[in-house]
Amino acid sequence: MDKLSAQQIREIWIDFFKEKNHLFVEPKSLIPINDPSLLWINSGVATLKDYFSGKSNPPSQRLVNVQKSIRTNDIFNVGVTARHHTFFEMMGNFSIGDYFKPEAIEFAFELLTKRFEIPLSKLYFTIFEDDEIAFNKWVSLGVPPNRIIKGNRDRNFWDVGQGPCGPCTEIYFDRGEKYDPNKLGEKLIFEDIENDRYVEIWNIVFSQFNNDGTNHYTELARKNIDTGAGLERFVCIFQDVPTNYDTNEFQSVIRTIGKLTNKQYDMNAYFGNDLTQKLINHDYIVIVDHIKANMFAISDGALPSAKDRGSVLRKLIRRAMVCARRLEIKESFISITVDALIDVNKEFYPYLTQTRDKVIKVLQEEEVLFNKTLDNGFELFNKALNSKNFDAKTAFKLTETYGFPYELVEEMMNYHHIKIDKEEYAKMIKNHQEVSKSRKDVKGMMQQNATLLKYKEISTFDYDSTKLNNALVIGLFDEDFNQVNSLNGNGWVVFDNTVFYATSGGQICDTGIITINNNQVKVDDVIKGPNGQHFHHVVNAIIKLNDHADLQINEHNRSLVTKNHSTEHLLHKALRTLIDQNINQEGAFKSPEKVTFDFSCDHHLSNDELMKIEDEVNSYIQANKPVCINMLTLEEAKQENAVGHFEDVYKKIGGKLRVVKMQDITTDICGGTHVKNTKDIEKFMITKLFSVGGGLYRIEAITSNETVSKYLDEQINKIQQKINLMNEDLSSKNIKDDQYTKLLSTVLYKNDLPEYHDLVNKFNELNGIYNKLILSYNKQNASNNIRMIKEEYKSMDQSPKILINKFTNLDLKTISSALTELINEDKQHAYVALSLLDTKTQYVCMANKQFCQENNFNAGELVKKLNVITKGSGGGRDTFAQGGCNGRIDFESVLNSVKDE
């Protein structure tokens, strides 16, 4: 068997099934779209469910994919077993009413034994005990009957209790006796004993029955094939290493992290009994796995938070940070870990290079957030550990005060063989939750609040008015949503009628003023209760039940939000018209400042496409079309060809839905506020487009003459400043260029949308010319500096084996280039250079391979010695190493240290 990389395995898998007339389905986002049953995409088939259920027509009846997935139900097995991951890739091939059992088995056998060239002697197969067709098919292909295990329903029949189901066949790979320490042999696989010798690499499910829910099975009219093969397991067996994390793809990242600590990963620990080393390996694995999961999830648009999938990401980050602390990593490990992960994944997932900065920014913000309490948390943990007084109170303080996930505290305690009173801990958590409800989770809390669930008072919202007199106060609640008869401070108010829009459908709420008892009270938030009433958050209010109030929203903000919401519909229409009629809205946000629109697309839109979209939306606006609102049932809305994105939600609402019709342009189901005529929007401008991962993109845009004019002023001023700086730089370097000068003379700074786009194009062209001129200038300077560095070394006393020199305000790249030329010319010396900069010192050591071998020299070891002297950090290999420290260092002490070598 050849030693294959992950990318080679992906390519072989995809190419094989393409040859078998399968359509390759690009990896989808980890965030499920319109599937409330899933927190994450957790399998290869999860993104194809609608095709199998018949809700959507597949682009082909034969599909193949390599789908990124996340499973977090057993994250605390990561680093403990050889094969657990939170993030993994599942390879699959699928038939939707096309081929079935015989062909699926033939494809698997051919791919494994012919294309991957796995010896048949290494493979074992399981089938459902009653599945004679599968048994006979495997035998007909040459599989010895004694290598086919007949499993019962628990082992080889997929059934979730109701709906499509069927038998399955699994394929196992025998990794050999070294993974069978108890010498049990085939007993392990025949009796289904958990082991690391026989590894399941492929599962093929034959979906051929329908369970009516009472375990009565009937044959499906359309039979399907659903298969899954773990990429990481394939890589592990092809590279013949102990665990999935010992493969090249993971080890390159682990080695990068290893530069930050003296505690090193040891691949041989798998076969030994050194518990300390096993824990070190465990901590490395957790860091790599958890940061990898976060990298892909954040690239796909998820963010760490206190709830839902965000809380999963935060838990993973904090667990990784605790493991880094145990490895005695004292500096940030986020950036180098993400960069190393991108490096090994960018070929198949090129968008990772685009989302890199965002990922690192988000993770480093989380790192800073948790670092504030991590030291104190560890101090508390160690203090309790040393005093042998570790109780539920300590665990509670770690979770609620210091932000340690409970499971992580439990894991840390298990390592030290400490038990926790879970019942006592649960009581403390319950009491804490009852006395400290947080407004940041107020919407979720409202939906579960028993008082609010029972609160049925009728309150209506008037879409068309911006002020209302004599509104009756029918409900008062304190900050924690306890019902009260009067307020003296902050709280929530419900009126019988209101003109304040509550945050919903991606549209931000109204703010404004209520006048009550001759006092003006600020309304800074409005949210919907579980029964639809609008709850107004008031500040410093004195209000009683049955008071009357005059309501006045911020009309200016409402006008801007309304323009942005109506524009969202026009933008969606333009995208479907100009780019792809199947483009769907995946999310949106409307505030006074901007509108954002998330959509799925098979490519990153070009600037030309964006300009066409912008022009199209502006043409809709200038078309002067009326906007009408109608209340229709879901079926009536469908007959009007109304666009809707969340049908499951609409069905739950029941009754009639609000349908917004922009005459001759678009009709949409929508509960937001809208303009009366498209011309009221005035102007539209796209300000940004970026990928949020997994084929999802976000457009940010602005509307109205006021907002667009202000934005143009700001941007034009920035461009003008940048051009002035470029001009000054070229002048100071005495660089002249006719092309640059000619183009500069055509630049105009006008507050006009078409003129602005022309300005941006000219600026980009100018910037390109400028960069080429500066690059040429710097190359010439670098060439001179390289020559100078080499001459300085050659003029030195050549008797020492190691030549060391210092340079002021020269970048390390130029110095390294000079040293590279020197060691290629000179095999008798090693070279050390110090670069003294304003606030720091950098150092590099280089030597020819021949010099290292003849003189037992290692540049990495020398740099480690310098790190001790300079209190810096760095490292490398035998022929090249570099490091650095803050401040300027004493050259003589470094010189003496090197002489000692």
Q: Taking the mean position of all CA atoms in its chain, how far away is CA 583?
A: 22
Positive or negative: CA dihedral 544, 547, 550, 554: positive
Give burial (CB, 10 Å; 0-12/13-18/19+) of 692: buried
**Which of 84, 70, 69 minimizes the C-alpha distance to 27?**
69
Nearest-angstrom CA–CA distance, 317 and 408:
11
Which of 86, 52, 13, 16 lies closest to 158 in space, CA to CA? 52
> What's the CA gap between 66 and 112, in Å, rounded?
17
DSSP 113: I
SS (H, E, C) 34-84: CCCCCCCCCCCCHHHHHHHHCCCCCCCCEEEEEEEEECCCCHHHCCCCCCC
Q: Is 165 exposed, middle or buried (0-12, 13-18, 19+ CB in 10 A)?
A: buried
Closest CA to 856 of 899, 895, 801, 804: 801
Mode of pairing for the β-strands spanning 198-211 and 217-230: antiparallel
Cβ-Cβ contacts under 8 Å for 215 (sequence gap 6 or more): none
Q: What are phi and psi of 77, to 5 degrees?
A: -90, -15
Nearest CA among 285, 338, 237 for reference residue 76 = 285
| Helix (H/G/I), strand (E/B), else coil: 839 | coil
Q: Is 829 known to sit in a ligand binding site?
A: no
What tokens appear for 404 in the block?
């340690």
Residue 734, CB-side half-sphere exposure with 13 Å CA sphere? 0
- Which residues in 187-196 are b (16+ Cβ under 10 Å) and which e? ebbbeeeebb
- Catalogue the long-range contacts made by 542-545 (C-beta closer than 8 Å, 24 or more residues apart): 542/486, 542/487, 542/488, 542/516, 542/517, 543/473, 543/476, 543/486, 543/487, 543/491, 543/493, 543/516, 544/473, 544/476, 544/485, 544/486, 544/487, 545/473, 545/474, 545/475, 545/476, 545/485, 545/486
Q: Is 572 annotated as a binding residue?
A: no
569 among the known binding-site residues? yes
Q: What is the phi/psi pair of residue 844, to 5°?
A: -140, 145
Tell me the HSE value of 713 on the side-chain side, using a 13 A CA sphere. Answer: 6
Q: Cα–Cα distance between 108 and 13 in angstroms, integer?
A: 10
Q: 3-state DSSP call for residue 455?
A: coil
CB distance 487 to 493 below 8 Å? yes
| Token duo for residue 536 | 């107004």
- Both tokens assigned to 21: 């007339």
Secondary structure percentages of the chain, helix, strand, coil, to 5: 45, 25, 30
452 closest CA partner among 485, 480, 486: 480
- The H helix count followed by the E strand count for the chain is 28, 29
Measured CA distances, 84 to 5, 397, 508, 812, 861 (Å): 19, 30, 42, 41, 35
Token output for 421? 């009173």
Q: How far apart are CA 720 and CA 749, in angstroms?
A: 8
Report the C-alpha gap between 723 and 677 in whole angstroms. 40
The side-by-side arrangement of strands in the sheet containing 657-662 is: 627-632, 657-662, 666-669
Closest C-alpha among 366, 362, 352 to residue 693: 352
Q: How many CB atoms lie within 10 A of CB 600?
A: 17
Other Cβ atoms less than 10 A from the Cβ of 622: the count is 13
Say whether 674 counts as a known binding-site residue: yes
What secondary structure letter does DSSP report for 740? H
Annotated binding site for Zn(2+): 565, 569, 670, 674
Annotated binding site: 565, 569, 670, 674
